[in-house]
Structure formats: structure tokens, C-alpha cells
Amino acid sequence: MKKTLWIVLVVLILAIGGSYFYFNTSPSNFAEEAGNSTKQVDVVDDSGFLMFTPLNQDVKESVIFYPGAFIDALSYAPMAKGLADAGYKVYIAEMPMDLAVFGKNKAADIVDTNTDEHFVIGGHSLGGAMAARFAHDNMADLDGIFFLASYADEKGSLAKANFPALSITATRDGVLNWDTYNKNKKYLPENTTFVSIKGGNHAQFGAYGKQNGDNDATISVTKQTEETVTAIKDWLALAVK
């Protein structure tokens, strides 16, 4: 029995290692630049989160974000900086082995220690599915959830959630399983807003270059980031009270 467990463990480690080598990409210069503090936004890497805090204005809502599989948290800095510029505090979770499946409950670290803040949660790809599972177990602690090229599954069903949801996809996404995405709409809250970014792809919801299996985008990563940030800001202003 012990031998079998060791074999399974070795296979798992090799599979994760191979996947990391195949999928992992580094944050682009666009992301690196967005990760720097400015006079408007303070950026801090602390306690397993990248934190983007608006300066010289009141925080409207706090956002917890789960990255996609094998994607460095810094890759989402442009999106986070855009939201922080508009008055939203953003926490990007730094996941164990860059896999949200190993850090589903990381949001609890922020929610439990910042009781004066109000939260929405979101995620990209696998990060969105894990954010939904956290939200499923902690509905009373959240004001809403958003998905970037992602969806909730049965274990993260939010069909009975009282809070709103936002689902953003891109027309050139070659990584998202569209059949599963459409089938799993049944797990979303009744109050869900759907946005499609024309010409965008899967990888450009972050800023880490090309991703295997994705289609080429017909808009720039800057443009897709701007449209993503605008969609989230509009949703936060209208749907999240």
C-alpha cells in the first residue's frame, strides 16, 4: 500500500512539474510596470498577496483575485492597478505552486483580518472556479463574484447566492472549454451579468504573453485590460451595493 502511495505521489509531482514547464509564463514588462507604486496607488507584496491600495481617496470595495493555473500573481497587476486607480482595493493571491486548487481558502486570510472592509471575489480560468468554491462556502462574507474566462462548477454552485455575479469572456479564447462554460451557467446566481470582449483571448486577461492552445488576439493586451477593468468597474458601481 505504501509503495502504491509513493508511486501516485511521484506521478503527481511529475505531472505538476511537466504542466508547470508547459504552461507557466512570466509577467510581461506591462505587468512589471503596473506592479510599481505610484502617487495614486500603493503596491505591496506581503503575506502571500499583492495588495493594491488606492491613495487619497476612500476605498469603495475590496477585491480578492485568484490567478489562473501556473500564472504568476504579478501578471494581473495591470487589471489590479486599473481598479485601484478607480478606488477599489485589490488583493491578488499568490497561490502555492501557482495553482489555486491548493489555495482555495486563501481569501479567508484577508476577510478574517480586515473586518472593516467589504469584499467581492474573482478569478481567471482555474482561479475563477476556486473562487466560486470559496464563495459557495462563505456567501455571507461576500458582496459579489466575477469570472474572467471561467465558471463555477457543482462544488462551487452559486445558484442560490443572493449576491450578483459578472462573467467576462473573450471571443478569441481558445483555452476556455466553451461547452462546459455554457452548461455551467446553471451554477451562477440569478443576477449575473455577461460581457464579451471582441477580439480578446484567454491569456490577455493577464499580462504574461502567449498561452499554449490559445488563439491570437486581434486587440492588444492593453486594450483587453482596459475593457476588462471597465466592465468590472461598471458592474461594481451598478450591481454591488
Query: What does the alpha-carbon distance between residue 6 and residue 12 come to, in Å, rounded to a whole number?
Result: 10
Residues 13-56: tens digit of each pLDDT? 334 444 444 455 689 999 999 999 999 999 999 889 999 999 98
Give the pLDDT mean for 100-121. Answer: 95
**Angstrom distances, CA of residue 73 to CA of 69, 87, 127:** 10, 20, 11
Return the SS3 of 51: strand
pLDDT at 224 over 70: yes
Please spell the DSSP secondary structure of the chain, one letter per residue.
-HHHHHHHHHHHHHHHHHHHHHH-BPPPHHHHHHTS--SSEEEEEETTEEEEEESSS---EEEEEEPPTTB-GGGGHHHHHHHHHTTEEEEEE--GGG-GGG-TTTHHHHHHH-TTS-EEEEEETHHHHHHHHHHHH-GGG-S-EEEES----GGG--TT-SS-EEEEEETT-SSS-HHHHHHGGGGS-SSEEEEEETT--SGGGSSS---TTPPPPSS-HHHHHHHHHHHHHHHHHHT--
pTM: 0.90
The residue assigned the cell 491600495 is: 53
pLDDT by residue (tens digit) across 149-162?
Answer: 999 999 999 999 99
Q: 1-15, 61-75, 109-123 — which is least confidently predicted?
A: 1-15
25: number of Cβ within 10 Å = 17
CATH superfamily of 2-238: Alpha/Beta hydrolase fold, catalytic domain (3.40.50.1820)
With bands split at pLDDT 50, 70 and 90, how would you rate the model's confidence at 204?
very high
Distance CA 190, CA 163 (A): 9
Residue of 144, 176, 166, 148 lying closest to 76 (CA atoms)? 148
Q: What is the mean pLDDT of the chain?
A: 90
